[in-house]
Amino acid sequence: MTPSPVPTLTVLTAPGWQDYELLDSGYGQKLERYGPYRLLRPEPEAVWKPGLPEKYWKDIHARFIPSPEENGGHWEAVKPLPERWQMSYQSLKFWVQTTSSRHLGVFPEQACQWDWIDGQVKAAGRPLKVLNLFGYTGLASLAAARAGAFVTHLDASRKVVGWARENQQASGISESSIRWIIDDALKFIQRESRRGARYDGLILDPPKFGRGPKGEVWEFYKLLPNLLSACREVLSEQPQFIVMTAYAVKASAVTLHYALQEVTHRLKGQVTAGEVGLQEKSAGRILSTAIFARWNA
């Protein structure tokens, strides 16, 4: 067997934001601006000293207080903060709000993937069918649909699918361009394979741990091989792209590279992998937030 070449890893950032900024980070926290509001959240990757003086860290609207007893934690208001507010990235508009999981309904670092997906859909020069598994509040789905794809968006949470549909309306994207599914990701894609459904693009953002709508348990290391095997079965005869991101897991970008390489080994094209991060406004450091791998024809 010919040994696989050692992958070259890359770091992706999202420089196109106007409504979001990573203002600073350090001492296990990050200071961010979401629209007009400045928020403070825990960030284990920020092991360095902050770049800004302490007074900037005190000028915030809210901070997240972790609490295992609360199954996550809670937000502590410092200044008035609305229940939710609207933000935009280029032509996409979406709602954000504070939640008990400390997230706000958007992962700003993923904008680099939205841009890439947009480019892949347009580069195909033909209508694409795209499947977005673990789709959350739908920004990747909206990016694909805005570029001209027909998207099947799946998430196990009825609440976040409703949130994603609100984002679709806010962005003015046609309702006929996205099919919304509430289901367990693995079960759904296995059924799609049996039905003969095929997709030209796949977007995967599997969590470390999760539950389906009927209590199905998702465990990253246990079930990812099964998911990727099922993904191989639903690829069209001329697939255009696959992109996979992973948060809060011990796997490396090299792991994702080889996993995706196995899925696409019979296809022409290339696999790239690395880390996704946000660049501080203060000191210019890149805060790594996730690992990724992606293939394009």
Report the predicted TM-score, pTM, of the whole model to 2 decimal places: 0.94
3-state SS, residue 159: helix
Average pLDDT across the chain, whole number: 94
Q: In the chain, what are the domain boundaries? A: 17-82, 105-296
Count how many Cα atoms sit within 13 Å of the Cα of residue 201 in the half-sphere of its side chain: 34
CATH class of 105-296: alpha beta
Q: What is the pLDDT of residues 110-138, one digit of tens each?
A: 999 999 999 999 999 999 999 999 999 99
Closest CA to 180 of 241, 132, 127, 139: 132
- Average pLDDT (56-71) is 91
Q: Is the pLDDT of residue 160 over 90?
A: yes
Q: Which of 57-66, 203-212, 222-231 has the highest mean pLDDT?
A: 57-66
Helices (H), ranges, the chain: 54-58, 111-124, 139-147, 158-171, 185-195, 220-233, 253-263
What does the pLDDT read at residue 135? 97
Residue 176 tokens read as 């006929």
Q: Is the pLDDT of residue 212 over 80?
A: no
3-state SS, residue 198: coil
What does the pLDDT read at residue 79? 97
What does the pLDDT read at residue 2? 62
CATH 2.60.40.1180 fits 17-82, yes or no: yes
What does the pLDDT read at residue 249? 80
Instruction: Give helix 220-233 / helix 253-263 axis angle, nearest 10°.
Output: 30
What does the pLDDT read at residue 207? 78
- Average pLDDT (13-17) is 97
